[in-house]
Amino acid sequence: MPGIDDATELIPGLVAWTNPGNGFRVLKLHYTADPAKRKPEWKEQAKAGMPERGWLREYELSFEAPLGDAVTPEFSSANVRAVKPLSGARILRGWDFGALSPAVVFAQADIHGRKLIHGELVLHQITLEQLIDAVRARTIELFGRPDPCFDAGDPAAEAVLDLGQVRRVLFQHGIQLHTGRSEESYDNLRKELLRQVYVPGEGVTPATLIHPRCVTLIEALQGAFHYSDRPSMREPKPVPSHPYKDVVDAWRYLNDNLLVTSTDHIEQMKKVAQADIKW
């Protein structure tokens, strides 16, 4: 309950606080307030036959679990790890220039072909110039250096905005934006989440590892970024939930452009990572 300073647990499963806006007293009642429902046996019986997302919404009071199916159901806790920046590897940045919630993800590729997502930047209704400044500061904060970088973003960056073409403005600031397109963009993300690699000393690991500090991206992949629960007869489209769609799109634009760098992109990124480390 962000911003609630007087939240008090009256009994296990029952929390009370005062709404700072209208002064109303609010109670949050969880099923565990009933002692009989705190037993694992009760939960196992009540949960039987219920979809996990339905359970989270109806019983665990999780508003990050909407009714519609997740865009990336392949994501799991195995994809979350406190990865450390690689001192010599190129910095990979994915950009989404959404008017409401511009977002950038910061990643690297290691010599085993894994994508390591170290951080995210999610802002609200700022100018392109402000976004560029914030990205530069976040890059140094995460990696201790400003470059070398590989930048990829929304193909719509070619569109004309108040500040001119986004790609042109970035170039004026020394940022070369790659804007390759893919018809299977979301499918490519799902494949990446399923892909695994063998790492000596670790064994088989997911090929995509995301630092826990990427809270918005993780929530989005868990289901906050989802399809409508009322699909049309046409091909289903993700619900434009902000900022969840924006941060996932930043990642997929980066992923798309890494895919088109080579027909065998995994081997290509390994070579890039190895060359960067020697550099």
Considering only 50-54, 117-121, 182-186, 242-246, which range has the smallest mean pLDDT? 50-54
Q: What is the pLDDT of residue 269?
A: 52
What is the arithmetic mean of pLDDT over 232-247?
75
CATH classification code of 77-278 = 3.30.420.280
Residue 148: φ, ψ to 5°: -75, 150
Q: Across all residues in the chain, what is the average pLDDT? A: 80
Q: What tokens were used for 26?
A: 């609010």
This prediction's pTM: 0.69
Number of Cβ within 10 Å of residue 89's Cβ equals: 23
Sequence spans of domains, the chain:
8-58, 77-278
pLDDT (tens digit per residue) in 99-150: 788 999 999 999 999 999 999 999 988 888 899 999 999 999 999 999 899 9
Q: Name residues whose C-beta falls within 8 Å of residue 94's C-beta, 6 or more positions apart in sequence.
A: 104, 105, 107, 152, 153, 250, 251, 252, 253, 254, 255
β-bridge pairing 177-178 and 149-153: parallel
C-beta separation of 14 from 29 below 8 A = yes
88 band by pLDDT with thresholds 50, 70 and 90: confident
Identify the DSSP state of 70: B
Rounded to 10 deg, the angle between the 244-259 and 265-278 helix axes is 90
Q: Which residue has the higher pLDDT, 277 or 218?
A: 218
